[in-house]
Structure 1
Amino acid sequence: MELELTRVEYMQAGITSGRTLRILPGPGDKSQQKIVLGDDDGVVQVFNIKSGVPNIVFKTLPGPKINRVELGGALGTVRDKVFVASGSETRGFTKKGKMFLQFETNLSEPIQSMYISGSDLLVCGNYIYNQYHDCKDSNYLLAGDKINDVIALPAEKVEGLIPILACADRSLKVLKNSEILYTCELPGPPTVLQLFYNDGGDEGEQVLYGTLDGKVGVMNIGGAEPSAGWVLEKEGQYSSIQVLDNFDITGDGMRDLIVGRNDGTIEVYSYEDGEESEPELKLTHHCGESVSGLEGGIVGYQGYEEVVAATYTGKVFGLTTLPGGSSALSTRKLSSDAQQRLLKLKSEVDDLQNTVSKEREKYQEQAASLFGGMSTIPKLSINDKFTLNQTDASYSLSLECQTSIEHVLLHSDVPVDLLDVEKNSAVVSYSTCNPEDGNFLLATYRCQANTNRLEIKIRTIEGQYGTMTAYITPRLQPKCCQIQTYKIRPLSLHMRAHNIDKERHYNVLTLSGNFTLAEIHSWISFCIPEVSERVPAGDDVNVSFVSTFLDTILQCNYSKGESSFMSDNISTISILKDFLTREATKKKIQLEMSCKVNDESVIETLNHIHPKLESQLLLAKQVALIEPLKDLAAHETDTTFLSPEYRYILEHSLQLEAQFKRQPARLERLYGMITDLYIDHFKFKGQNVKNRVPQLLEILDKYEQEKLIDFFQTEVS
């Protein structure tokens, strides 16, 4: 069944943060519902839609930024109470605007996520979880990793309160009182949690999660051990999940899964084969801005379901099932009072536009005057994300501004590759750089008019670390620029892992010295992504990582004065050793180190590289043959004499060229990794083999796996 929805614009509010839009339950199944919205100006408003026009029910005065909006109520009743979190304070409102709760929590950091279960209030900062029962502190947890969201299984279906934390270390942590009951490993860092089907499923034990790299999945929390359900992963769609909801928008009697992403994509999935099976995509809508809030309901017109969304810049709109959308609403006859109000509003808008034009002209005259004038640089809000994509071992940098972007200047003091992004309409130009001065990249992205979001894809080189800086210039007068910086880490292509293969052959690096746990943890945090900046509780730390490019493993175990690192890739050990030595030297800490090299690990790493190298060599060969084959086909009417391999290249030439274009310098990168592996392998044996690199490159040009392994195993005299 094809789903068709029409976009209807409702209102423009201030800048909004994630999960700050909710829809209040209506008095009946098909009756119109009210919308709750909180923005960064601290304004909370409840409004409904009458004749396509928003009608404010209540609106608070500006104040501290609203970080979260949730609905609550007594267990077993309708959740029609509005709870908002700003700073470390939680406030509660009735649907008519009466404030019945103003509770100052004892959190030492602002509330970032919140959930209401009956009389229990669950709030989280970046690392702190607190539970309050009837506004009395009942449970507390200091998490070792950043908390991105919190939820609890429905108390009506499960026994007791079971909170669940979504943590940045790619896990869900299931709590019991103030302790972690168990941890569920996820395929990506979770950003948002939602009860499956809004009620946790039949047993109330299923939780939906969305990840930073664009995956959506379900986890069964019940029983002694959790079990993973289906996972949605679209090829080429790596934008982070901002919000999830379940609502029957297709009208088939089953709630559909609605997904809002950071790149402005709204997706509707339907469970055609039952709730236990993976849902199928029914609709995709691009709104051009990151989605900060999204929920299904009946808002614009009685009896017609729709998806209501709020964007980063505060636009509130609906995707309605009403044929014709707002045009259909406009055909309804308006009362004389409504017509008078619309005319008055239009007159006020015209007056405001005239006033703005006059003030802008006045300002331009003062700015250009020889007598001088005063110009104020406006404060800009930049919504940015720098995300590692596991699928293609690259980073996505998304930049979003509250106003149109004129251009973005990208500078890097380490070598990086810029990859193509299909939905990126900006024109990129490169400037000549001098690597000797620490300038490896200087690129300018010139944006089209009315572009307030830009996405850039980057691939880094492990072992080379530094800083990438983005200079964002909006279309404003006077000209101003916002600077955002991003760390390129030494082991930038590694991600957190929980279960590793213990049967591999590992190289072991052991360090000891007069360093504290905080010092060694800060070094590891700077060196590897997805490591908490906060020092974990306890006397020792054990964390594991996997390379997104080669699938090799790194295991770190460190405590005060001692640390050990295990990896099946000797180059990873070499990078880590050089970095830690440099950091210890800066602090004048003397290190004692030893390294056990396992020769079998090198062969294992070459086996990991082999399929990637073979595939890339084949792709390069196919792309090189495209033009000659096209010339041949232009002179021959019948190409059936060609072999199946050559016919395949001709028929799929566009796809092959696009694939090759999406992976610039990938073959050179693989050659570089093999070369580093060869040099590092013999370096730990005390031998310098850089003079043999030309021989290695000759073998790679005529690649055969057996010959390459033989070359690595040949002893150097």
Structure 2
Amino acid sequence: MELRSLAAMDLSLNRVHYLQVGVTSQKTMKLLPASGRKATQKVVIGDHDGVITCFGTKKGEAVPVFKTLPGEKIARLELGGALSTLQEKIFVAAGSEVRGFTKKGKQFLSFDTNLTENIKAMHISGSDLFLCASYIYNHYTDCKDQHYYLSRDKINDVLCLPVEKLSCITPILACQDRVLRVLQGSDLLYEMEVLGPPAVLALNNGDGGESGEELLFGTSDGKIGLVQISGVSPVEKWNIGNDKKRGGILCMDSFDILGDGVKELLIGRDDGMLEIYNFENANSPVLRYEYALSESITSVQGGCVGKEGYDEIITATYSGWVSGLTTEPVHRECGSGDEVKMSHEMQNKVMSLRNELEQLQIKVLQEREKYQLSSRSSTAISAVPTFSINDKFMLNTDDASYSLVLEVQTAIDTVLLQCDVPVDLKDVEKNSAVVSVVDCESESNGNFLLATYRCQANTTRLELKIVSIEGRYGTVQAYVTPRVQPKTCQVRQYQIKPLSLHQRTHSVDHDRPMNTLTLKGQFSFAEVHSWVVFCLPEVPEKTPVGDSITFYFQNTFLDTQLECTYRKGEGYFKSDNISTISILKDVLSKEATKKKINLNISCDINEESVNHTLKLFHPKMEYQLMLAKKVELIDTLKELQAHEGNMDFLIPEYRSILEDAPQLLKEHEKQPASLERLCGMITDLFIDKFKFKGTNVKTKVPLLLEILGNYDQSTLLAFFNSTV
């Protein structure tokens, strides 16, 4: 795990471990500002045990300042104080309570908000406190309720622009539906759609830039952006995509680690990647350094902790490790005068660590023997060890697959994956686990997938990719077994929804040929909303405020779209893909029947939509067939090359295939089932088109597959449009 420099700039960072606390949540570690003559800073961190730990350093070792008693899980930790003074008061959110501590650990505030949900996000600005539960935003001044707002989707983070610069309070909510909501009092001023679901907010440069209006955001799918929040409308300054397919953003900070007078942007991701972006020009930052940790980074801060005069980047990880990447060199240069002193310090440190390790080994052996003896007695009580799992099940827009990320606070032994609907597993490059897939011949027992992942030693994070089929819905179950004794296992469940490849969007193309499904019946607004939640991902479980709602979706694989508008007693679903309407019709009928609700369902089918959808399939089919043909030719061309030697006589196309062979094979391996997936979707479209006409065309499917095997767009269109 070494720092990799991506540019010829002089920066050498060395990792140093300080201590380990309990499991931590996002944004629960801060550096206290340096005070007095002491240039080094104290670190304060809160964990899931409810413990707040504050420590400094002495000779590179962590020295405790204070530690609180255990309590409710700490969800957020922020620093505060009077405006324009040192922000050295510590505030933590745990459950529905906010507590305040001095830098020496004395509690001065215990504020019970009486919220019905636990606090998920918090921001402090002078005497103003901004709190968010899942959907509710509250603003308090001196612990007195000021403003309230009910969001349409889950709130992931909250921030307020600096009051010192703007002389007005401007809170911003980062919401799961890919929207930043800017508030004014209890009202929505305006909202702005961003690249992905924003997971974290931060002020640019730590103070909002020159204007105080510049806001950084990081998304759960790994994108970063900067917007200027003006009083009238937002201005997008820059954004950075996630071309390297890295993890989501959990934390960010601005700090001048290079010492050139310009603050760099520090980014912590949930796949353990720490990134340092440098502002070489005013337009957008450039990635200059990256460092890979083995687990997700929940907090990142820049400062000076280990030794006076040496800046460092402090990180906190999911399992509670607090580490630093310091500019202090590990070895002094010859003739520096400190070489002997450094070596003595290092020797003493190694000796103390060895002694501590020996004592721990003895203690482990004693406790193990004690446990073995007690387990044999007639009054033995076996306690199941508890462990925390941090998991994420998210749709990837780039390849229309689902990422399942499992992170455990201790090393993972095995993960058993079981699914009751047909899904495929895709390889993940970062994944070093050994996978064994059981051939499920009989589907009567409900097992379409059984796969075991055996992890290597010290693996705490596992990432899997699952490819689903729309219309086939069910449950994926992950049985996670860590390397602990006695053996224990936790089960996590994830829903594969009927329209699993659709993602929320905020606008659609109304000029497309659309098919309409109309529902009417004696159902409530909450009931029809629960059906939409069951059918589609990224829909908030809470029933929306108001009498009606409209949601827009886009199919991540095919780029078709869906518009859902519904209210009490009626619902309208429009899509340019007949198969989407067919799936919705079947599922909604089934859900209404379960509740014994009589539905009046009608469908208005637009014939032009079929040709439109087939044209969307065309470039994907053409590309996959071309890729398959090129891969088939590779072996023949290689044999020819081995026999002839000189390949100048080949046409440029064949020479290009030979040159690009490794990349072509790699791409083909990544997408082994893409062609089958496309053919399956076209077959479903064919069946669904004629199903709405009351005709069963399943006997014609072999002929369709033959046409797809010798794919030609005009032949396929003619086949679809012919009278059956």
Alignment partner, residue 311 of structure 1: 317
Q: How far apart are residue 687 of structure 1 and its match?
A: 2.0
Indicate which of 418, 423, 427 corresponds to 2:434. Answer: 427
C-alpha distance 6-340 of structure 1, shift in aligned 2 (>3 A): closer
Whichever residue aligns with residue 423 of structure 1, its letter is K
Alignment partner, residue 67 of structure 2: 59
Contact in 1 for aligned 2:331/2:339 (Cα 8 Å): no
Alignment partner, residue 384 of structure 1: 391
C-alpha distance 517-15 of structure 1, shift in aligned 2 (>3 A): same
Indicate which of 526, 537, 544 corresponds to 1:529. Answer: 537
C-alpha distance 119-609 of structure 1, shift in aligned 2 (>3 A): same
1:198-347 matched pairs, under 5 angstroms: 198-274=206-282, 277-324=283-330, 333=341, 347=355
C-alpha distance 326-70 of structure 1, shift in aligned 2 (>3 A): farther
Contact in 2 for aligned 1:7/1:325 (Cα 8 Å): no
CA distance in 2, matches of 1:184, 1:417: 36
Indicate which of 463, 466, 469 corresponds to 2:474. Answer: 466
Contact in 2 for aligned 1:418/1:459 (Cα 8 Å): yes
CA distance in 2, matches of 1:495, 1:218: 23
Whichever residue aligns with residue 14 of structure 2, its letter is T
1:500-519 matched pairs, under 5 angstroms: 500-519=508-527
Whichever residue aligns with residue 455 of structure 1, its letter is E
CA distance in 1, matches of 2:600, 2:707: 38
Q: How far apart are residue 413 of structure 1 and its match?
A: 0.3
- Per-residue CA distance 1:589-639 (angstroms, 9 max, x = gap): 011011111122112211222111111111111111111111111112101
RMSD of aligned Cα (Å): 2.3
Alignment partner, residue 143 of structure 2: 135
Alignment partner, residue 595 of structure 2: 587
Whichever residue aligns with residue 411 of structure 1, its letter is Q
CA distance in 2, matches of 1:444, 1:698: 36
1:95-244 matched pairs, under 5 angstroms: 95-244=103-252
Alignment partner, residue 619 of structure 1: 627
Q: How far apart are residue 326 of structure 1 and its match?
A: 11
Q: How far apart are residue 323 of structure 1 and its match?
A: 2.2
C-alpha distance 701-346 of structure 1, shift in aligned 2 (>3 A): closer
C-alpha distance 341-248 of structure 1, shift in aligned 2 (>3 A): closer
Contact in 2 for aligned 1:8/1:325 (Cα 8 Å): no
How many residues align? The count is 713
Alignment partner, residue 406 of structure 1: 413
C-alpha distance 335-98 of structure 1, shift in aligned 2 (>3 A): farther
Identity of aligned residues (%): 55
Q: How far apart are residue 516 of structure 1 and its match?
A: 0.7
C-alpha distance 341-634 of structure 1, shift in aligned 2 (>3 A): closer
TM-score scaled by length of structure 1: 0.96
1:434-513 matched pairs, under 5 angstroms: 434-513=442-521
CA distance in 1, matches of 2:444, 2:223: 41
| Secondary structure, aligned partner of 2:124 | strand
CA distance in 2, matches of 1:636, 1:571: 51
Indicate which of 639, 660, 665 corresponds to 1:657. Answer: 665
Whichever residue aligns with residue 607 of structure 2, its letter is D
Q: How far apart are residue 208 of structure 1 and its match?
A: 1.1
C-alpha distance 712-446 of structure 1, shift in aligned 2 (>3 A): same
C-alpha distance 266-345 of structure 1, shift in aligned 2 (>3 A): closer
Contact in 1 for aligned 2:221/2:242 (Cα 8 Å): no
Q: How far apart are residue 714 of structure 1 and its match?
A: 1.8
Alignment partner, residue 5 of structure 2: none
Unaligned runs of 5+ in 1: none
- Per-residue CA distance 1:239-279 (angstroms, 9 max, x = gap): 211111111112222111111111111111111122xx221
Alignment partner, residue 719 of structure 2: 711
CA distance in 1, matches of 2:410, 2:417: 19
Whichever residue aligns with residue 313 of structure 1, its letter is S
CA distance in 2, matches of 1:159, 1:29: 33
Higher mean alpha-carbon deviation, 214-223 vs 230-239, is at 230-239
CA distance in 2, matches of 1:443, 1:545: 32
Contact in 2 for aligned 1:15/1:312 (Cα 8 Å): yes
C-alpha distance 596-53 of structure 1, shift in aligned 2 (>3 A): same
CA distance in 1, matches of 2:139, 2:533: 29
CA distance in 1, matches of 2:183, 2:400: 33
Q: How far apart are residue 35 of structure 1 and its match?
A: 0.8
Alignment partner, residue 394 of structure 1: 401
- Per-residue CA distance 1:359-386 (angstroms, 9 max, x = gap): 113323544x486843211112111111
1:547-696 matched pairs, under 5 angstroms: 547-696=555-704
Higher mean alpha-carbon deviation, 72-81 vs 457-466, is at 72-81
Alignment partner, residue 9 of structure 1: 17
CA distance in 2, matches of 1:176, 1:139: 9
CA distance in 2, matches of 1:473, 1:336: 43
Q: How far apart are residue 666 of structure 1 and its match?
A: 0.6
TM-score scaled by length of structure 2: 0.95
Contact in 2 for aligned 1:8/1:326 (Cα 8 Å): no
C-alpha distance 616-52 of structure 1, shift in aligned 2 (>3 A): same
CA distance in 2, matches of 1:570, 1:662: 29
C-alpha distance 330-691 of structure 1, shift in aligned 2 (>3 A): farther
Q: How far apart are residue 331 of structure 1 and its match?
A: 5.7
C-alpha distance 122-697 of structure 1, shift in aligned 2 (>3 A): same
